[in-house]
Amino acid sequence: MSWEVLRVMAPLVIISLINVVSGLGGTQKISLPMFTALRRFSILMTMLLEAYVFGTSPSSAVKMSVFLMIFGALVAALSDLTFDTVGYSMIFLSDLFTALNGVVMKRMLTACPAVNKMAVLFYNSLFG
């Protein structure tokens, strides 16, 4: 452990902490089917964020499967007519931070030779 590793890991730990807190807050406010449907948007957000940060574009098959997964989750949750602005906001915040977590971790593994996959998982679990 060194100050360099702590400095590199700090953003990931903060992102993970916000992700957990917002996910738990959203779970408390909305029903399980709607929670599951809204959490599917984290996959779409990750795909868009990776395209923006890394300049990659997923294949058409991946895009279609993400679309079908989100569509299916929304169809399954249509019977839930309750709406809680705070709950929905918390879940979308959790989606955003889930996407950020994946992109930051991927960026960290490619940009910083001081950490590897196991070190990232270890330090994230230790500090988060």
pLDDT surpasses 80 at 103 = yes
Q: CA of 93: how far to CAs of 14, 31, 59, in Å?
A: 14, 17, 26
User: Each residue of 68-77: pLDDT tens digit?
Assistant: 999 988 888 8
Q: How confident is the model at residue 52 (pLDDT cuts 50, 70, 90)?
A: very high
Residue 20 CB partners (closer than 8 Å, separation 6+): 128
Mean pLDDT of 87-101: 93
Integer Cα distance of 27 and 82 in angstroms: 14
Residue 44 CB partners (closer than 8 Å, separation 6+): 66, 70
Q: What is the pLDDT of residue 1?
A: 65
